[in-house]
Amino acid sequence: MGAGAPSPDAVAQGKKILVCVTGGIAAFKVVAVVRSLAETGADVRVVMTPSAHHFVGAQTFAALSGNPVATEMFGSGAAVPHVELARGADLVIVAPATANAVAKMALGFADDLFSAVLLTVRSPVLVAPAMHTEMWEHPATQRNVAALEERGITLIGPSEGALSSGDSGAGRMSEPEEIVRAGLRALGRAEDLAGVRALVTAGGTQEPIDPVRFVGNRSSGRMGFAIAQEAAARGARVTVVAGATSAEPPPGIEVVRVATADEMRAAVLERAPECDVTVKAAAVADFKPREAVDRKLKKASGPPEITLVPTPDILAELGSSPGLRKARGILVGFAAETEPDPGVLGRLAEGKRRSKGADVIVANDVGSSDSGFGAATNRAVIASPDGLTDVGLVTKIALASALMDVVAGLLRTRRSL
Ligand SMILES: Cc1cc2nc3c(=O)[nH]c(=O)nc-3n(C[C@H](O)[C@H](O)[C@H](O)COP(=O)(O)O)c2cc1C
């Protein structure tokens, strides 16, 4: 990782960018996207769905990109065209993304070149939806879009404004400059954690009462997994130490399973000294039963009296013992608060950052149905040495991305000192 961030255009030089054009009127605006990207020195390839040909000629995209346009799965001459196009792609932009294209991506279809490419590709994917307001607001589309975001795909827009039908409303494709900017940002991010070792904790701990019962919490693991996925997408080598989770861990990431706070502490302390970034997103129990009995407590014996004792505070231990961490490493903790007000969240985050000796604290609201445990979204404020960032109510993957922006910035600063 270099000391300074490269210029936005320089990150695109020589990069392979696939622009997938699907069948909406906004396809004409994507001509400007392809031209701008080609001007940065990127190797731009355009894939068009058969419907897209009704809106813009393939010749236009071929001339601007300097590459032939791909539409057909069969008969194009390439042995396996979807694999050839997808492999080695640094970035994929789907613009305009029709309701149909979004649905096919959400469900994992592969019945044409476009959808097969999207199922094969492993690079960051940006999607710029464009459709009439009714189609955009339909629950089916909203569910499909949420599924894409959950998978780490970045949505650009849509915005509100004039639509091709002459109506006005939500569903207008973002402007070409915005799509290009998002593309260059994604390319820059794709490498800003290259070479970084990251440790992320996720899920909740379970503190045994007897062989079948435990003291636990509602953590799903979604936030920690989103952070792991985002860090890996930006080039980090990631290990997740996970307690109990109802969410699935992201594919291709090392996961170490633990059950109790003590096991989590041991797994974290063993790995933290080698990690450039340690993110403690797990909901570790604050208290555990003083002793777990080794036989199931019988109902007939009546309600047991359970004495709780504190569990280790892993974040504070890491924060107060530099020897347990890598020199110049970044320690990130989470604060679960039942507090939606960003002003209060910010104060709580900064207070905990100082008291725990962490570099960064993310204070999130776990008291609302749309935020915190189990939800797809989170309302959060990030406190770092550079100040407070109010992220607002966003998807967990968007919060993970905002957090990794902060972490990458801190790493850059520390490495240049
Ligand atoms: C004039 C016209 C404009 C259209 N514009 C859009 C649009 O903006 N967004 C959309 O989702 N579908 C739009 N459609 C419908 C799509 O073209 C249709 O769903 C098609 O099957 C999409 O195929 P594709 O996703 O494979 O490109 C339009 C259709 C017509 C005839």
> What pLDDT, in 10s, does the model give residues 285-297?
999 999 999 999 9
Residue in 284, 275, 350 with CA at minimum distance from that of residue 315: 284
Q: What pLDDT score does 310 carry?
A: 97
Assign 188 a pLDDT band (cuts: 50, 70, 90): confident
Q: What is the residue whose two structure tokens read 């990690």?
A: 275
Does residue 107 sit within a domain?
yes
Residue 263 has pLDDT above 70, yes or no: yes
User: Best of 19, 54, 100 to mutate for ligand 1, by most ligand atoms within 8 A of CB?
Assistant: 100
Q: Residues 157, 213: one domain?
A: no
Ligand 1 centre distance from Cα of residue 164 (Å): 11
Q: Residues 185, 201: one domain?
A: no
Q: Which of 168, 189, 210 is the endpoint of a domain?
A: 189
Q: Which residue has the higher pLDDT, 351 or 149?
A: 351
Q: Compute the average pLDDT of residues 192-201.
A: 95
Q: Residues 168, 222: one domain?
A: no
Tally of domains within the chain: 2
Q: In three state form, how does the secondary structure of 164-202 look?
A: CCCCEEEEECCCHHHHHHHHHHHHHHCCCCCCCEEEEEE
CA distance 347 to 355: 12
The HSE-up count of residue 103 (CA atoms within 13 Å, CB side) is 11
Ligand 1 centre distance from Cα of residue 98 (Å): 6
Q: What is the pLDDT of residues 237-248, one digit of tens each?
A: 999 999 999 999
Both structure tokens of 68: 């032939």
Residue 3 has pLDDT above 50, yes or no: no
Q: Residues 212, 159: one domain?
A: no
Is the backbone of residue 372 left (phi > 0), alpha (psi -120 to 50) or beta?
left
Does residue 1 sit within a domain?
no
Ligand 1 centre distance from Cα of residue 23 (Å): 5
Q: Residues 90, 164: one domain?
A: yes
Does residue 246 sit within a domain?
yes
CA distance 124 to 256: 26
Q: Residues 214, 243: one domain?
A: yes
Q: Residues 172, 264: one domain?
A: no
Does residue 366 sit within a domain?
yes
The CATH number for 259's domain is: 3.40.50.10300
Q: What pLDDT score does 5 carry?
A: 53
Does residue 4 sit within a domain?
no
What is the domain range of residue 182? Answer: 10-189
Ligand 1 centre distance from Cα of residue 97 (Å): 9
For ligand 1, is residue 98 a contact (CB within 6 Å)? yes
For ligand 1, is residue 27 a contact (CB within 6 Å)? no
Assign 1 a pLDDT band (cuts: 50, 70, 90): very low
Does residue 239 sit within a domain?
yes
Residue 78 has pLDDT above 90, yes or no: no
Q: Which of 169, 189, 209 is the endpoint of a domain?
A: 189
Q: Which of 160, 189, 218 is the endpoint of a domain?
A: 189
The HSE-up count of residue 189 (CA atoms within 13 Å, CB side) is 24
Q: Residues 230, 179: one domain?
A: no
3-state secondary structure of 315: helix
Q: Residues 28, 134: one domain?
A: yes
Share of the chain above pLDDT 90, in %: 82
243-267 b/e with 16+ CB inside 10 Å = b?
A: bbbebebbeebebbebbbbbbbbeb
**Global pTM value:** 0.77
Element (H, E) at 84: helix 81-86
CA distance 37 to 197: 32
For ligand 1, is residue 130 a contact (CB within 6 Å)? yes
Q: Compute the average pLDDT of residues 387-409.
A: 93
Q: Residues 324, 207: one domain?
A: yes
Catalytic center residues: 217
Q: Which atom of ligand 1 is nearest to the CA of 164?
A: 8
Q: Residues 368, 402: one domain?
A: yes
Assign 119 a pLDDT band (cuts: 50, 70, 90): very high
Residue 279 has pLDDT above 70, yes or no: yes
Q: Compute the average pLDDT of residues 367-385.
A: 86
Does residue 5 sit within a domain?
no
CA distance 408 to 116: 33
CA distance 257 to 288: 19
Q: What is the pLDDT of residues 120-160, one digit of tens each?
A: 998 999 999 999 999 999 999 999 999 998 888 999 999 99
Contact 338, 367 (CB under 8 A): yes
Contact 312, 261 (CB under 8 A): yes
Q: Residues 141, 180: one domain?
A: yes
Residue 165 has pLDDT above 90, yes or no: no
The CATH number for 86's domain is: 3.40.50.1950
Q: What pLDDT score does 189 carry?
A: 82
Does residue 390 sit within a domain?
yes
